[in-house]
């Protein structure tokens, strides 16, 4: 089996506004509100309204802000399909949680499966970092009323 590259596509949902306004509003610098996806075998996989795939850069978000090479994999497209079917029940619209089970959670799990590597900490830790700010703590009840209790302290 040939080894194929695995890439992490990183998008900033705030389109630069987090970097511009976070110090004033959040009292801490946030460089983006990150959405990630994983590109392997010519498909961009992501968690949105369930687990979806598209042509790389062909999602509604357009081209990614940044691409990180996560390594290579020997996992076949058939095995990927089986794996996606196996984890799909954990990534349904009703199980989406902005802080605990989001696109970045999916990307991290998928990258671990494909390469054994985790996505960058600054992406995975964004919810906890946000909640650690004074305004983040104020927003927590609002977010939890929308998505349910968070596992973050």
pLDDT at 142: 86
Total count of domains within the chain = 1
Q: How many CB atoms are closer than 10 A to CB 65? A: 16
pLDDT at 5: 98
Q: Is residue 153 part of a domain?
A: no
Which residue range forms the structural domain that includes residue 74?
4-147
Q: Is residue 37 part of a domain?
A: yes
Residues of the chain with pLDDT under 70: 1, 153
Judge whether 152 counts as a catalytic residue: no
Q: Is residue 22 part of a domain?
A: yes
Tell me: the pLDDT tens digits for 13-47?
Answer: 988 888 888 877 777 788 999 999 999 999 999 99
Which single residue is written with the structure tokens 């695995």? Answer: 6
Q: Which secondary-structure segment (H or E) carries 85?
A: helix 77-87
Catalytic hit among 35, 41, 97, 111: 35
Catalytic hit among 41, 97, 103, 111: 103
134-147 helix and 17-26 helix, angle to the nearest 10 degrees: 110
**Token digits for 105?**
């959670």
pLDDT at 28: 79
Domain of 142, CATH number, reads 3.90.1720.30
Rounded to the nearest integer, the mean pLDDT of the chain is: 92
Q: Is residue 118 part of a domain?
A: yes
Q: Is residue 100 part of a domain?
A: yes
Judge whether 111 counts as a catalytic residue: no
């Amino acid at each position: 089996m040939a080894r194929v590259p695995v890439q992490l596509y990183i998008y900033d949902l705030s389109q630069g506004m987090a970097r511009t306004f976070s110090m004033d509003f959040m009292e801490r610098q946030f460089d983006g509100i990150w959405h990630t996806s994983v590109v392997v075998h010519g498909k961009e996989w992501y968690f949105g309204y369930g687990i979806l795939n598209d042509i790389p850069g062909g999602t509604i978000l357009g081209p990614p802000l940044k691409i990180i090479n996560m390594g290579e994999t020997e996992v076949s497209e058939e095995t990927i399909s089986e794996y996606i079917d196996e984890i799909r029940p954990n990534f349904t619209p009703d199980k989406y949680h902005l802080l605990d089970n989001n696109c970045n959670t999916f990307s991290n799990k998928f990258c671990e499966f494909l390469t054994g590597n985790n996505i960058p900490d600054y992406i995975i830790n964004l919810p906890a970092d946000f909640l650690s700010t004074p305004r983040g703590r104020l927003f927590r009840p609002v977010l939890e009323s929308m998505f349910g209790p968070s596992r973050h302290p």
